Amino acid sequence: MKVRIKFAKQGAMKFIGHLDIMRYFQKAVKRAGLDAAYSEGFSPHMIMSFAAPLGVGVTSEGEYFDLELKTPMSSKEAVERLNRVMVDGMEVRSVREVPEGKKGKAMSLVAAADYLVSFREGMEPGENWKEKVPAFMEQQEIRILKKTKKNEKEVDIKPYIYEMEIRGERIFLKLAAGSVKNTKPELVMEAFFAFCGREFQPLSLLIHRMEVYAELGEEGEQKLVSLEELGEEIE
């Protein structure tokens, strides 16, 4: 049985990188006594796949990984068992059954993600930054310099910003994510700082991921569904 586990990563845990979070969950699944499936061979690996890596320094309430179980367990029990072995800042939000097969792999499903971005005190892009948000989004193009390992190239990230709106003192972003089209909240905010005529420092931002979505729309129509909703509660 394949299950999808949704978890939150907050507080000091934001300093733990993606690879270490994978190792953390391999051990946590063992401590929780879930009967996970393993690969063959002398050093068997737990069969698990993570949806979308989260950068160091970013918190989240919408992280996912898929896990293959040999013995089924109810959603309620699995959540309880996992939460009993979590550390401060890590919380399992749901465990749901998802269809087997490569097509349903969490990582290949990822199409979009929601973020809440706030500014550290005194590091906002000017006093009237809120007024600039609509104009920023009305631009035809938002060009930024994207640095790769080999070179830099200019790209238009406008098509990847699905939504940008003010929420209190924070900015909500719905951005393209995944292997085909994607952009990062840092890049969008870097462009926004430039738009406000301010110098951008990555440390100005506190980024929180809220949710990760799959695209179920056909023929260019957008229909985003959270990865959690693709699964079903196990009784």
Return residues touching another protein (CB under 8 A): 11-13, 15-17, 20, 23-24, 26-31, 33, 38, 41-44, 46, 56-57, 85, 87-89, 203
Alpha-carbon gap, residue 33 to 27, rounded angstroms: 10
Token digits for 79? 């959540």
Residue 21 or 161 with smaller CB distance to another protein? 21
Is the distance from CB of 172 to CB of 162 less than 8 angstroms? no
Alpha helices, H only, 33-179: 75-84, 106-109, 129-138
Residue 87 or 180 with smaller CB distance to another protein? 87
Least distance CB 143 / another protein (angstroms): 27
Token digits for 58? 């970013």
Burial class (CB in 10 A: 0-12, 13-18, 19+), 37: middle
Residue 29 or 117 with smaller CB distance to another protein? 29
Least distance CB 168 / another protein (angstroms): 21
Handedness of CA 132, 161, 226, 182 (dihedral sign): negative
Least distance CB 29 / another protein (angstroms): 7
Residue 1 or 37 with smaller CB distance to another protein? 37
Burial class (CB in 10 A: 0-12, 13-18, 19+), 155: middle
Residue 28 or 157 with smaller CB distance to another protein? 28
Least distance CB 97 / another protein (angstroms): 22
Least distance CB 156 / another protein (angstroms): 29
Residue 53 or 134 with smaller CB distance to another protein? 53
Least distance CB 80 / another protein (angstroms): 17
Q: Which amino acid is it at 101?
A: G
Which residues is 68 bridged to in the sheet? 2
Q: Tell me how far apart the terminal alpha carbons of the chain are, to the nearest angstrom.
A: 13
Alpha-carbon gap, residue 23 to 20, rounded angstroms: 5
